[in-house]
Amino acid sequence: MADYEERPLLDDDAGPLIRPYMASGGRTTPSASLDLLTLVWGTGRVALSHVEPEHAEVLLLCKDPISVAEISAHMRLPAMVIKVLVSDLLERGAVAALSPDPSADTTNTTVLEALLNGLQRRL
């Protein structure tokens, strides 16, 4: 195995040596309407060996339901790139997704205050 195959394409100072949009083939618009809070999970219908490495990484993260935002954070890629990758997987039936209800109030101050109080207790 060549030396470059053993090392990730990262530089300690510069970060990734491949631009984020290379992961999505240069595409910047997802084919599905996805929100950062959309939950995604694997269906088991497509094997990891039948998808590109970036798609396989998404599938590995989707063993349990996970949000688009969390996938983005784990993979250290922009959310729009993740939305394109997830859209590709949705089209192939490799993942399923559930978007939040647009009419739901996501700014419930009671929940936010409880979260803040819990975080302050942990500090």
Assess if residue 21 is contained within a domain: yes
Q: Give the model confidence (pLDDT) of 70-105 as tens digits.
A: 999 999 888 999 999 999 999 999 999 998 877 776
Q: How far apart are CA 96 and CA 6, in angstroms?
A: 33
- Count of the separate structural domains present in the chain: 1
Assess if residue 73 is contained within a domain: yes
Q: How far apart are CA 63 and CA 46, in angstroms?
A: 13
Assess if residue 90 is contained within a domain: yes
Assess if residue 97 is contained within a domain: yes
Residue 4: band (very low, low, confident or very high) from pLDDT cuts 50, 70, 90:
very low
Assess if residue 118 is contained within a domain: no
Q: Which domain holds residue 53?
A: 3-102
Q: How far apart are CA 46 and CA 48, in angstroms?
A: 7
Assess if residue 112 is contained within a domain: no
